[in-house]
Amino acid sequence: MSEQNDQSTFDDDIPDTGGVVSKEQILTALSTINDPDLNRDIVSLGFIKRLRVCGTNVAFDIELTTPACPVREQMQQAAQDVVSELPGVERVAITMTAQTRQIPAVRNLIPGVKNAIAVASGKGGVGKSTTAVNLAIALAQTGAQVGLLDADIYGPSIPIMLGVPEGEQPMGTEENGVQMIFPIERWGIKLMSIGFLTEKENPIIWRGPMVGKMIQTFLGTVLWGELDYLIIDLPPGTGDTQLTLVQSAPLSGAVIVTTPEQVAIEDVMRAGRMFEKMGQQGTPVPILGIVENMSWFETPQGERIELFGSGGGARAAQAFGVPLLGQVPRQLEITRGGDAGAPICATQPDSPAAQIYHEIAGGVARHVATLAMQGQRGFEEGRALKTMEELVSRKGADI
């Protein structure tokens, strides 16, 4: 008999008293399971936690690198199978947990935020904010703690998309003489936008220094709490505002949104080059992938019509050597949901369009986790090398 669940009384009740198999045998069996992104086994990666054996019963946790891991169920089933096959094992309880990793090289300038991810585009009108909203909600639906920062200073539309009534403003408090702001919460995510601080009908006419100051305010005075991911909706384009934010925010990576036509691809290439240039200047911002929006329109008869051509997202992804995270169709349900303040991922989470956003969220989380694990390994190897060099130096001095 075997048992597999997420939160099991059986699991919690198992003491660690030893049994028919040793922990070494269990770990050896589990070491045959590899993480497909990190290309290492889950034992050497340190995923196995709280391993207990009591008679014929075995229980342990598998701690993933992100709650949004797209191979969560497959990994759990594989672990269930290999341990159940060990001689004498009758019951197996596996608890799936997650500890979101942070890229070691990223400067942690936003208290409590592990990973800040920019959503960018080379021009407006490609569905960037819609992507940011549904990406944030999709990540939150996996169990991650998520915030959304509307940094599109000149066109803050996210309060509308999330159904925040006009006039509702975030609460504030004073800490050590500094006015701090609590984000508003909607659909399971925390939200902050310049739209909360301005009148709806008035245009925002700010010069570069004022924009930079507002960005700094958002980054330093919003009390986000503990977040696994902060999604930042950048203004479209590649001007001073975008550069200021990228230089100021500790970004773990960026997602670039485009549409399929060639003109949009030219713009998205400029956006990608901006992030590459930032890396050359000492502020690395890895491109996590490309999202192609409005990829096709599907008629009631099921015919797909490519309104804006095809293949643009794939070409951009190939040019930058990154994955095409997803292709989102042009659907009225997505548009109507944004207009009504009811995003499709929140109100129709099982719909085909919402599932595409969930796949995009899984790809983003997986890429960030991979970068974090690779960075941690490099950091540890670098620290070990430094320690070795210090020991050699001391030994030479003694001689």
pLDDT of residue 292: 93
The answer to whether the 9-98 and 113-360 domains have the same CATH topology is no
pTM of the model: 0.80
pLDDT tens, position by position, 85-133: 999 899 999 999 988 877 665 555 677 888 999 998 877 788 899 999 9
Question: Which pLDDT belongs to residue 3?
Answer: 42
Of 16, 235, 23, whose CA–CA distance to 124 is shortest? 235
Instruction: Give which of 50, 44, 37, 21 is closest to 369, Cα–Cα.
Output: 37
Closest CA to 254 of 294, 226, 287: 287
**pLDDT score recorded for residue 209:** 62
What CATH number was assigned to the domain covering residues 9-98?
Answer: 3.30.300.130
Q: Would you list the domain boundaries of the chain? A: 9-98, 113-360
Dist. CA 384–CA 388, nearest whole Å: 6
Within the chain, which residues score under 50 in pLDDT?
1-10, 378-392, 395-397, 399
State the number of CA atoms in the 13 A half-sphere of 308 facing the CB.
23
Residue 161, token pair as written in the block:
């998309």
Contact 129, 158 (CB under 8 A): yes
- C-alpha closest to that of 150 among 184, 177, 108: 184
**Could you please report the per-residue DSSP string of 14-55?**
----EESS-HHHHHHHHTT-EETTTTEETTTTT-EEEEEEEE
φ and ψ at residue 378, rounded to 5 degrees? -65, -40
Side-chain-side CA neighbours of residue 262 (13 Å):
0
| Phi, psi (deg, nearest 5) at residue 347 | -100, -25
Structural domain 113-360, CATH architecture: 3-Layer(aba) Sandwich (3.40)
* Lookup result for tokens 């672990």: 79
Q: Which two tokens stand for residue 398?
A: 């003694």
CA–CA dist 37, 141 (Å, integer): 22
pLDDT value of residue 184: 92
Q: What is the pLDDT of residue 109?
A: 60
Q: Is the dihedral of CA 259, 260, 262, 266 positive or negative?
A: positive
Neighbours of 392 (CB within 10 A): 10
pLDDT at residue 284 in the model: 78
Cα distance between residue 274 and residue 203, in whole Å = 27
Residues counted in the chain: 399
Torsion angle, CA of 16/17/23/29, rounded to 10 degrees? -80
